[in-house]
C-alpha cells in the first residue's frame, strides 16, 4: 500500500486543517502501553534483566516523563541505550547495553520507522541487531493487542472533534502502528470525524502534515497540530504550523481549554502570536530535559 499517496491525495474540503496525535493525547494509553507492553518486552529482548530496575526508570523517563516523550519506538531504543549505559549504578554492575550499531545505521537512512520497513530491511540485509529489534517490536504489538482494549478518549476529545469537523479537515497524526490506531478510534466511533488515520507506516509526523497540506491552499496560520509531546511541536514547526499542547498530567484541563478557547482563537485567526507563545512556554515547563538521577 502506498501510504504517502493516501496523504497526498486527501481532498481539501475546508479552509482549516487540524492534526491530532493519539497515544497520550486523545487517549490515556501511554502509561499502560509503556509500563505493561513496551518496557517488559524491551527488558527481555535488550537483555536488561540484571539491571531491570534502572532499565524501567530510564525507559519511563524517555517515553513518559521528559522532552523525548512520544518519540518513535526505535528512536526511544537509542535514547534508552545511551542514557542507561551512562548511569553510575549500571556501570557499577559492569553492565553494557547492546550497542545496536546496525539499528543506528538503519535509522539514519530510513524515514518510515515502522515494522514494514524494518521487516523489509531484515529480509534484504539480515543482521542480528535488526532481528532483535524486529522481534521486540512485534512482541510489543502483540502485547498491546492483548492488553490495551476498552480505552476511551480523554473527556473533551469528542466535543473538540464535533466542534472542529464543520470547519476543519482533520486527520490523526501518530507514530503508533496503524492497526492499533484504527482499532482504538473505531472502538470509540471516532473515525467519522477524521479524513485519515496516519500511523508510523505513513512516515514521520512532520511528513504526515506536509503531505496532507502541501499545495492545497490552506492559508497561513490555518494548520494546527494537537499533541502531547515535543515531537508533535517539532512536526508542527517543520511545517510552519500552529501547535496546541495537551500537557501531560493536565490532559482534561487542556482539552477543555482547547474546546472553549483554543479552537475559537484558531478559527478567528488570533491563535498565532502571544497566545501561541504562552501555550509553548507552559508546555516547555511541563517536561524536563535532563534525568533526575543525575
Domains of the chain: 3-28+156-286 (3.40.50.1000), 30-147 (no CATH)
Q: pLDDT tens for residues 79-117?
A: 999 999 999 999 999 999 999 999 999 999 987 888 888
This prediction has a pTM of 0.83
The answer to whether residues 34 and 230 touch, using CB atoms and an 8 Å cutoff, is: no
User: What is the structure's pLDDT at 116?
Assistant: 87
Terminal-residue alpha carbon distance, the chain: 45
CA 192 – CA 241 distance, rounded (Å): 24
Tell me how far CA of residue 18 lies from CA of 137, 160, 249, in angstroms: 29, 11, 23
CB 170 within 8 A of CB 266: no
Tens digit of each residue's pLDDT (9 = 90 or more) over 9-29: 999 999 999 999 999 999 999
Average pLDDT for residues 252-261, to the nearest whole number?
A: 98
pLDDT band of residue 126 (cuts 50, 70, 90) is: confident
Residue in 190, 10, 185, 3 with CA at minimum distance from that of residue 111: 3
What is the average per-residue pLDDT within 218-247? Answer: 96
pLDDT of residue 257: 98
Confidence band of 180 (pLDDT split at 50, 70, 90): confident
pLDDT of residue 58: 98
Nearest to 63 by CA among 82, 86, 39, 85: 39
Residue 271's pLDDT is: 98
On the CB side of 193, how many CA atoms lie within 13 Å of its CA? Answer: 19
Query: Does residue 233 have a pLDDT over 80?
Result: yes
Return the pLDDT at 114.
Answer: 85
Cross-strand partners of 170: 18
User: Per this entry, what is the length of the chain?
Assistant: 294
Contact predicate 43/49, CB 8 Å: yes
Q: What is the CA radius of gyration of the chain?
A: 19
The confidence band for 256, taking pLDDT boundaries of 50, 70 and 90, is very high
CA dist 79 and 85 (Å) reads: 10
216: closest CA among 63, 15, 3?
Answer: 15
Whether 130 shows a pLDDT value over 90: the answer reads yes
Amino acid at each position: 500500500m502506498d501510504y504517502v499517496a493516501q496523504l497526498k491525495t486527501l481532498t481539501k474540503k475546508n479552509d482549516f486543517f487540524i492534526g491530532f496525535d493519539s497515544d497520550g493525547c486523545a487517549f490515556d494509553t501511554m502509561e499502560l502501553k509503556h509500563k505493561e507492553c513496551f518496557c517488559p518486552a524491551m527488558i527481555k529482548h535488550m537483555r536488561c534483566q540484571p539491571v531491570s530496575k534502572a532499565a524501567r526508570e530510564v525507559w519511563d523517563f524517555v517515553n513518559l516523563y521528559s522532552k523525548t516523550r512520544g518519540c518513535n519506538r526505535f528512536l526511544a531504543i537509542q535514547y534508552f541505550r545511551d542514557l542507561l549505559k551512562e548511569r553510575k549504578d549500571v556501570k557499577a554492575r559492569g553492565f553494557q547495553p547492546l550497542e545496536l550499531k546496525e539499528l543506528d545505521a538503519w535509522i539514519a537512512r530510513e524515514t518510515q520507522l515502522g515494522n514494514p520497513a524494518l521487516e523489509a530491511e531484515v529480509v534484504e540485509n539480515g543482521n542480528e541487531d535488526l532481528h532483535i529489534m524486529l522481534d521486540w517490536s512485534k512482541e510489543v504489538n502483540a502485547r498491546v493487542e492483548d492488553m490495551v482494549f476498552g480505552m476511551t478518549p480523554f473527556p473533551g476529545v469528542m466535543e473538540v472533534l464535533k466542534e472542529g469537523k464543520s470547519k476543519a479537515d482533520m486527520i490523526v497524526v501518530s507514530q503508533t502502528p496503524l492497526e492499533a490506531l484504527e482499532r482504538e478510534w473505531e472502538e470509540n466511533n471516532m473515525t467519522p470525524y477524521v479524513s485519515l488515520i496516519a500511523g508510523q507506516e505513513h512516515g514521520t509526523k512532520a511528513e504526515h502534515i506536509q503531505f496532507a497540506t502541501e499545495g492545497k491552499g490552506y492559508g497561513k496560520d490555518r494548520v494546527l497540530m494537537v499533541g502531547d509531546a515535543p515531537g508533535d511541536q517539532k512536526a508542527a514547526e517543520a511545517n510552519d504550523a500552529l501547535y496546541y499542547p495537551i500537557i501531560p498530567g493536565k490532559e482534561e484541563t487542556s482539552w477543555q481549554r482547547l474546546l472553549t478557547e483554543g479552537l475559537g482563537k484558531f478559527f478567528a485567526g488570533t491563535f498565532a502570536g502571544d497566545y501561541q507563545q504562552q501555550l509553548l512556554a507552559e508546555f516547555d515547563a511541563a517536561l524536563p530535559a535532563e534525568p533526575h538521577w543525575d
